[in-house]
Structure 1
């Protein structure tokens, strides 16, 4: 076990003191938003976000509802988790402050505790009769059925291993179980949150898989597309493998294109802006049809999805934030803001956006014809077809920067990750399941067909058994494009992306006027947050 809890004045103890103060405020006032906690503690929004992420990962606080009338992450409310608070020794009395400090100090020990466990070698006999537990996050009946069918096939191929499957597990439940340890926890773990891979690998919350990979003589570079390999490792530690993926592209209304005289989907952002304006039909002080909803609250039109279509680097060679120095970021923010202005302005667009249906429901604005183009993942095709749209749907890669036409075809990638719990006493048996689910072509193809996600191996992507139509092929091609990308992992997970996204909200709405100064300030905050997380 490396490291200590820290001494007075060190960042670790300062973080513990902040944790203590936040817990005390939540106990005293009840549910609070990130912004409110920041104001009451004197912390910046990004630092308050990191604090809440730390407490949430430790199971000490829970997200509970939102502030009425407020959009985005600032609306989320948090409260103390009564069960976890009791387990941590918190006491809802005037003496609770001391217990809160003890609880927050325990967070600092979590990473070192996990790291120590992850270094232990697997000693179980993979051929012995045993039962392992597999936790996953899927909850829809079709998804649960599909993963169970793959597990059944695994058990048939490995008659000595029985798999107990537990579904609907989110990262909060997963983190609590990994922290608690013990024989009742999972052996095989999975997460939908690729941006947390830095936390999972650096803390040892997920076991280092490299010894198992080498023992099985797997050449991952020949098995799995590079972007998917990238988002399942951190700083040389491979603690996960991809279990299907998501690719993002452009959906467009072919009927609307024909009516507007547009013959093909745009390949550059300049072409895209022209088409978005052509496709926009006004109605009074609003829209009958909007070419594209460019704001960051437009479901999947978030900063990192936009940035995937510009060549960019979030960090420099020294690991410092590069967003103020790499011109691609200023280009993207400038382009998006101009597109907002050209399509009617932020206020008008926001008013129209408030008429949209739920992203995951039948009344999604692309499906209702309220917008003619939409940035989205491969799943939208099936959802739109199930909603019974009355127009022909086209799919294409998202456009690229005007001087990067040779990279047209790339896109943003993410997906599900799977690994082994470091506390598992059946790591060899657990590896057999991980290896099967992620590298067996039949298993990957059958799962992809069932839940309409992108296969995560080259063999599965090219399998004749994969169900592919013209619309879905677009996303298979994006997944295999060598220029497709995902944000790099960080020791504090997605905090740096949240910080940049928060800046985006401020800039697009006009609250921040100076782009250069804003990016410089945001870069400094990102560097500070990462340094504090180390």
Structure 2
């Protein structure tokens, strides 16, 4: 999931479950006076800013209107506000017909019953489930249930690096393992510049990184029954390893402990940091003034060897799903819009513009995505990415553990020791905050 803020998620299941059946009127949306020739659509902020998204999406929505006669009322909702907006929509009845959600929210929202389930019949209306990459569908809801949404944009993490800074430091290639990351990082962290960017106050970013590290240590944050298991040795080791990049290894600037959304990308674009772990970042770099030849890309590091299945996971399955509110009064139009947005041609256009990977297999295999970063991202999604836990309490997990990691980064930035014991204590506190 990209640029997601999980604050306010503690109440998500109870709030939505209570309100999902109570929606009333809403012009062009889920209300009783909704026009069959009008749809409301909440899109997520995928581009450099809200206006960029409007510029990208508006011509495509006009195309849909020309083809179907259905006008789409677009609102691009910032990630920082999206979850709160979804909660408010379900209580006020003023929600959209169709909306984008980060794929890690799928199971949490699915548990509320607020979103239309995509059973076999629904998938057939948009061309069939087998059109989509299975890893992307697996991140659209809990295992064993009909997905709560349809994959729209697929992403994974990669390691982006500044070629000029590498050359100046005499570094010939990007690190493939975490030991190499530390070794390389010490060569790059000098003269007021730093090796690796991080966003210690970005709860989602924290979760994404420690999840992959936990997988590499053979761990998971939930057991087979879906119960939290935050304090396992593997999870403690994963969190400590990540925070140690700042505290012990000193290859992340202490100021990054306070960084929130996108600040590490800005430092990278300005040549303040040499590397950043990010999701499908090419279009964002361009928006910040970088040229394609300024940066390179490689798979995110693993503990040893090369990325692959099992303990060689080096990314979450990231992406954006498109969902339909279950109580929409324009179900046919909403379904037709999802079909349009996931068509081969639109998948090529939108993912090509945003620098993400199509969720539709035929578009994913198009030669337009055989770019250096496109190849790395696609290979990661296919061979070495795993979905975040698809459990009803996933959003609460992001808030609790993401906040624990934020606190540990603050300790590291202020010179306080981050030990195995202090990490375990922070994760224990996070686990106590989870619903029983």
Alpha-carbon distance between aligned partners in 1 of 2:16 and 2:316, rounded to the nearest angstrom: 32
The Cα shift of 1:441 comes to 0.5
CA RMSD, Structure 1 to Structure 2 (Å): 3.6
Pair 1:164 & 2:66 matched: no
The residue that corresponds to 2:239 in the other structure is: 333
1:256 pairs with 155, 165, 171, which one? 165
Corresponding residue for residue 146 of structure 1: 56
> Matches of 1:278 and 1:313 in 2, distance apart?
33
2:43 equivalent in structure 1: 136
**Residue 329 of structure 2 is aligned to residue 425 of structure 1:** yes
CA offset digits 1:367-419 (Å, max 9, x no partner): 2222111112223x333344444873111111012266545684233222211
| Residue among 170, 173, 178 paired with 2:85 | 173
In 2, Cα distance between equivalents of 1:503 and 1:350? 17
Match of 2:268 in 1: 366
Q: Which residue of 1 aligns with 2:346?
A: 443
Counterpart in the other structure of 1:66: none
Q: In 1, distance between residues paired with 2:104 and 2:148?
A: 13
Q: Deviation digits for residues 166-205 of structure 1, max 9, x if unmatched? A: 3124333333223333xx64322223x3332233211111
Structure 1 residue 274, shift from structure 2 partner? 0.8
CA contact (8 A) 1:245 1:415 kept: yes
1:399-452 Cα shifts (integer Å, max 9, x gaps): 0122665456842332222111122122133212112212x1101111112333
Instruction: From the superposition, tell whether residues 370 and 214 of structure 1 become closer, same or farther in structure 2 (CA, over 3 Å).
Output: closer
User: What does residue 280 of structure 2 align with?
Assistant: 378
Distance of 1:446 and 1:388 partners within structure 2 = 22
Structure 1 Cα separation of the partners of residues 63 and 160 of structure 2: 35
Residue 375 (structure 2) aligns with: 473
What is the CA–CA distance in structure 2 between the aligned matches of 1:373 and 1:129, rounded to whole Å?
49
Aligned to 2:104: 195
Partner of 1:12: none
1:273 to 1:149, Cα distance in 2 relative to 1, 3 A: same
Q: Distance in 1 between matches of 2:328 and 2:227?
A: 36
- Higher-Rg structure is 1
**Residues 158 and 298, structure 2, Cα contact 8 Å, conserved in 1:** yes
Alignment partner, residue 180 of structure 2? 271
1:483 to 384, 409, 429: 384
1:492 matched residue in structure 2: 393
Question: Structure 1 residues 328 and 109, CA, compared in 2 at 3 Å: closer, same or farther?
Answer: closer
Q: Is the 8 A contact 2:200 2:260 kept in 1?
A: no
CA contact (8 A) 1:506 1:512 kept: no
* Counterparts of 2:354 and 2:180, CA distance in 1: 33
SS of alignment partner, residue 99 of structure 2: strand
Matched residue count:
402
Q: Deviations over 1:305-335 (max 9, x none)?
A: 243243332211121222323x432222232
Does the alignment pair 1:457 with 2:363?
Answer: no
Q: What residue is the counterpart of 1:241 in the other structure?
A: 150
Q: How many angstroms does 1:364 deviate by?
A: 1.6
Query: In structure 2, what is the Cα distance between the partners aligned to 1:299 and 1:315?
Result: 18
Query: Which residue pairs with 2:3 in the alignment?
Result: none
For 2:187 and 2:15, locate their aligned partners in 1 and report how far apart those are by CA, in whole Å.
Answer: 57
- 2:404 corresponds, among 503, 506, 514, to 503
Distance in 1 (CA, whole Å) between partners of 2:251 and 2:369 is: 42
- Change beyond 3 A, Cα 1:344–1:155: closer
- Structure 1 residues 298 and 322: alpha-carbon distance in aligned structure 2, compared to 1, 3 A threshold: closer
Q: 3-state DSSP class of the match of 2:385? A: coil
Gap regions ≥5 residues in structure 1: 1-48, 58-106, 118-127, 282-286
8 Å Cα contact 2:126-2:335 kept in structure 1: no
Separation (CA, whole Å) in 2 of partners of 1:437 and 1:444: 7
